[in-house]
Amino acid sequence: MRRIRTILPLTLIAALTAGILILMAGCAEEKEAAKLVSTNPPDGGELFANAELVMTFDKDVKEVTVNGTPAKVEGAIAKWIPQEAGITEGKQTLKIEWTDVDDQTGSAEITLTIKAPDVTPPEVVEVSVKDGATDVDPDKLNTDGITVKFSEPIDTKKSADCVKLTLEDGTVLAWALEWSEDKTTATLTPTPGAEATFETKYILIISGYYDPAGNEGAEKKVTFTTKAKE
């Protein structure tokens, strides 16, 4: 008995192979949706109605909504204010939905207690150098810097240049500002070439600082003079 062989045309084999390769490539390119890494305040926390809920994702997102109202998006960070969405006070379940830069979507829910709007401005509660001091050690300033403590956490992005050290003639010195993890303490330290010197009058100016609700604190100036070299 003769065996009948079926031979597929080469063009059909090539087409099938190409289709399989395209399918495999499509599967390989499929990406995971962005994940919500954290919120500030966290789930179960409290938030003033006029303060920001900050949402951090593990990759960039292009659209985020909270209970159907849009949040402001910048890279992998989204911010949303309850008051702007008509939410004032009380315990609220917030549904967060997002679309990432690869058009993948995700959602999550958190519960926060929304408090009445914060209208109390932050205050400077302590400065490591005393106003009017005339014997400040410049070496200690250069080593430890100058610290400023505030009455509440500060919006460090909005208050980026809120602490400056100047000479008596108003020249602003190149000192760098760093913040504590809880955003309540700022430390000003000199950059190379801008160190404090002996027998020099300085003015520390603290102004343009805001809390997360947008309240601006009052300006404070601290004038001091470094001691003579021994």
- How far, in Å, CA of 94 to CA of 72, rounded? 16
In a domain, 17, yes or no: no
In a domain, 55, yes or no: yes
Number of domains in the chain: 2
How would residue 31 be classed by pLDDT, with cut points 50, 70 and 90? confident
The pLDDT, as a whole number, for residue 28 is: 46
- How far, in Å, CA of 29 to CA of 22, rounded? 11
Q: Check whether residue 155 and residue 211 sit in a common domain.
A: yes
Q: Which of 115, 142, 165 is the last residue of a domain?
A: 115
In a domain, 31, yes or no: no
Q: Check whether residue 110 and residue 200 sit in a common domain.
A: no
Per DSSP, the three-state class of 159 is coil
Q: Check whether residue 58 and residue 92 sit in a common domain.
A: yes
Condensed to tens digits (0 to 9), the pLDDT of residues 70-128 reads 999 999 999 999 999 999 899 999 999 999 999 999 999 999 999 999 999 999 999 99
Asked whether 155 and 212 are in contact (CB, 8 A), the reply is yes
Q: Which of 84, 115, 146 is the last residue of a domain?
A: 115
Q: Check whether residue 161 and residue 179 sit in a common domain.
A: yes
Q: Check whether residue 71 and residue 152 sit in a common domain.
A: no
Between β-strands 46-48 and 105-115, what pairing exists: parallel, antiparallel or unpaired? parallel
> How much is the pTM?
0.73
Amino acid at 199: E
In a domain, 30, yes or no: no
Q: Check whether residue 110 and residue 132 sit in a common domain.
A: no
Which structural domain range is residue 151 located in? 124-225
CATH of the domain at 174: 2.60.40.3780
Buried/exposed 59-77: b ≥16 CB within 10 Å, e otherwise:
bebeebbbbeeebebeebe
The pLDDT, as a whole number, for residue 21 is: 54
Say whether pLDDT at 188 is over 90. yes
Q: Which of 90, 115, 140 is the last residue of a domain?
A: 115
In a domain, 230, yes or no: no
Backbone dihedral region of 132: left (phi > 0), alpha (psi from -120 to 50 degrees) or beta? Answer: left
- How far, in Å, CA of 85 to CA of 67, rounded? 9
The pLDDT, as a whole number, for residue 14 is: 55
- How far, in Å, CA of 89 to CA of 103, rounded? 34
The pLDDT, as a whole number, for residue 4 is: 44
The pLDDT, as a whole number, for residue 222 is: 98
CATH of the domain at 84: 2.60.40.1220
Mean pLDDT taken over the chain: 90
Q: Check whether residue 190 and residue 221 sit in a common domain.
A: yes
Amino acid at 193: G
C-alpha to C-alpha distances, 48 to 82, 93, 97, nearest whole angstrom: 8, 15, 21
Per DSSP, the three-state class of 21 is helix
Condensed to tens digits (0 to 9), the pLDDT of residues 139-169 reads 999 999 999 999 999 999 999 999 999 999 9
